[in-house]
Chain A
Amino acid sequence: MSELTYREAVRAALAEEIERDQNVVLLGEEVAQFNGAYKVSEGLLDKFGPDRIVDTPISEAGFIGMGVGASMLGVRPVMELMFWSFYSVAFDQILNNAANVRYMSGGLINCPIVIRGPANGGTNVGATHSHTPENVLANHPGVKVVVPATPADAKGLLKSSIRDNDPVMYLENTLLYGIKGEVPDEADFLIPLGSADVKRAGTDLTIVTYGRCVLHSLAAAETIAKEDGAEIEVVDLRTIRPLDIDTVIKSVTKTNRVLIVEEQKPFASVGAQVAFMIQEEAFDHLDAPITRVTTIDAPAIYSPPVETEQLPNVDRVLAAARRALKA
């Protein structure tokens, strides 16, 4: 085990997989000479050279589409989006081409591509740079969607994503890049996509969450354990598609109460899908309606102190969890 930041964990996964498989390349804006806009790829150009670590022009549609085309020939490109928010510029390449080409070819072609980068609000960069498109992506059969919360998960899930034969959308978070955690060193440390993780065991309420909201949920759970004497179970989905709903249902049957915490606009969010599945599969186990903490429903506000309130935060999770425990 090593103590790594989330950023270092992503970098370690990239380095190990580039080392392991000649077909793996990293392409994106500022990934090489600049060492990464968020320093995720720092040092990789020196280590692997310009054929494996490639700076692209600011042309998301062009270079993401290029990656999709190369993946059809067996290259395994990891494409960095400086922000996932820029996916809108490459929407056709990602969600028409990568998502559909296997289907439309009757299974003759597959796209082993990973598209990764940060997708989060909370950094005062306004509505254009704060999108969290995991629900939009997961709405497209053919792609997989991964949102890791911890350094260990970031590493194990990225390695699995790069080895996966389907297109994987891997969503990081700039506010997690500096967070430290214990990360296994083994070269074969893989976390299967589609496996949720119970980050905290509890009996009184299930919080279903993922990404940075896992940290808020764990903090709120600790406070409630101390101040209210209730034990909250925190289920980190880790992967949105495939979805490990069984782990969620198992928790719900134990706690009988559910709060969903997500950095999503509420309409047709990931949580909306999860809530639907819980009521469908565990209706009789629910003692109260399912509740949610989401991003307040508006484009991301710039004003720094107000943006903190627009997003899920520890205080909002605390209040919602206390309501859910009493409902």
Chain B
Amino acid sequence: MSETTTSKSASAEINQGLSSADKLELYRQMMRIRRFEERSLRAYQAKKIGGFLHLYIGQEAVAVGCCSLMGEHDHVITAYRDHGHAIAVGMDTKPLMAELYGKITGCSKGKGGSMHYFDPSNNFWGGHGIVGGQIPLGVGLAYGVKYQGHKGSAMAFMGDGAVNQGAVHEAMNLAALWDLPCVFVIENNRYSMGTSQIRSTAGPGLAERALGYGMHWEKCFGHDVYEVREIMNKVLTLAREEHKPSVVEIDTYRYRGHSVADPDKTYRTREEIDEYRKNKDPLIIFQHQLTEEGVLSEESQQEIDQAARAEADAAAEFAESSPFPTEADIQKHVYWEADHPDQRTSQGRLFFS
């Protein structure tokens, strides 16, 4: 059993307003991510999936807590460890798994892969492969929300490694300079690939870099979904009501390697991973919390788990039975104009093979 105690954030106003059904839904979303990731790992090991697979296992409370607060004009963009966010914003797991398999039924029609999930209909703008490269885009989403006169925000997620990329700092300066409603969410899982924070990052901490831009900042224990919601609600309110950006550093941990093919024992110990699994697992912590609250019975916990496993299996079956794109699909979705020939205004050749 873990050493969990009742979440100090359970009494926060944003959590007080949750019904039992809402709470179970948070738990269910975290479970769906966990089981989806485990199922995708098996598919990867069975060589059904190419390239990289950056699993979100261990970090579920972050994406679920943040995305549970989204309204109509709140947007999300993240890096390549994007499966959790995609599920948390409401994407169906079948096209997500099919994308991993490289199938035409994938959310990006087999063109993006694991690192490049998108769903504008759920305000989800990727899924980006270059560390920190998505952060200026996130500021652009915030700019767009403000320019179009909406009350909303953009949550720009990154890992702890991204705070040392120049584009991140340029973006932070712009957001602070122009009062753009952007929340910079640093998911600090302690390792940028295999390099620990102490070996990569100067200064007192990650969130503190906001000080240089006169920006509001917060730190957060990311293993407790209630605390994620409490802190994020505060900064999202600042963004929506006052167009004020913030930096939030959320402590979290990934159980798997940076990508699953990477060696995992060169930079951390098995004991460290086990310690997190045992004492800080976001699913276990929240399960205990909900049990204490009398919201979750062992029976309903089992049901949620089984349903999530069944959903992941169904997603894998869907992916397995879907067709691959064809060679004819390679040149689709390159240009808007080429995909809308009846509305094309340009002339000449767009393609050279």
Contact = CB atoms under 8 A, between A and B. Distances in A.
A166 B335 contact: yes
A292 interface: no
B337 A164 contact: yes
B348 A75 contact: no
B125 A107 contact: no
Contacts of B126: 101, 104-105
A273 B129 CA distance: 30
B118 A108 contact: yes
A239 B334 contact: no
A72 B120 contact: yes
Interface in A217-247: 239, 241-246
B147 A243 contact: no
A61 B167 contact: yes
Interface in B336-351: 336-337, 339-340, 345-351
B111 A71 contact: no
Nearest to B353: A141
A107 B144 CA distance: 20
Nearest to A56: B174
Given A68-B136, A69-B137, A96-B130, A192 B173 contact: no
A101 B335 CA distance: 10
Given A59-B173, A62-B173, A165-B337, A243 B133 contact: no
Interface in A20-71: 25, 51, 56-57, 59, 61-71
A246 B349 CA distance: 9
A306 B134 CA distance: 43
Interface stretch (B101-109, B232-240, B268-276): B101-109
Contacts of B339: 107
Contacts of A102: 333-336
B84 interface: no
Contacts of B340: 165
Given A96-B130, A106-B106, A273-B352, A68 B137 contact: yes
Contacts of A109: 118, 120, 125
A163 interface: yes
Most buried by B among A66, A107, A195: A66
Nearest to A107: B333
A74 interface: yes
Given A70-B147, A72-B137, A166-B337, A241 B109 contact: no
Interface in B71-117: 75, 77, 106-112, 116
Contact of B111 (A93, A96, A103): A103
A62 B349 contact: no
Contacts of B262: none
Interface string A81-100: 00000000000110011000
B57 interface: no
A69 B348 contact: no
Contacts of A122: none
A246 B134 CA distance: 39
Nearest to A241: B350
22 contacts: A59-B173, A65-B133, A65-B137, A68-B140, A69-B140, A69-B142, A69-B144, A70-B143, A75-B143, A97-B137, A102-B335, A104-B111, A104-B126, A105-B116, A105-B333, A144-B335, A163-B345, A164-B337, A164-B345, A164-B346, A194-B349, A194-B350
Given A69-B144, A104-B127, A245-B348, 20 more contacts: A57-B173, A57-B177, A62-B174, A65-B139, A65-B140, A68-B136, A71-B140, A75-B143, A75-B148, A92-B167, A96-B133, A97-B134, A102-B335, A104-B116, A104-B118, A105-B112, A109-B120, A141-B351, A165-B336, A245-B349
Interface of B: 75, 77, 106-112, 116, 118-120, 125-130, 133-145, 147-148, 154, 166-167, 169-171, 173-174, 177, 332-337, 339-340, 345-352
Which 10 A-B pairs give the minimum distances between C-beta atoms?
A: A69-B140, A65-B136, A62-B170, A194-B348, A73-B144, A69-B137, A106-B109, A107-B333, A242-B348, A105-B118
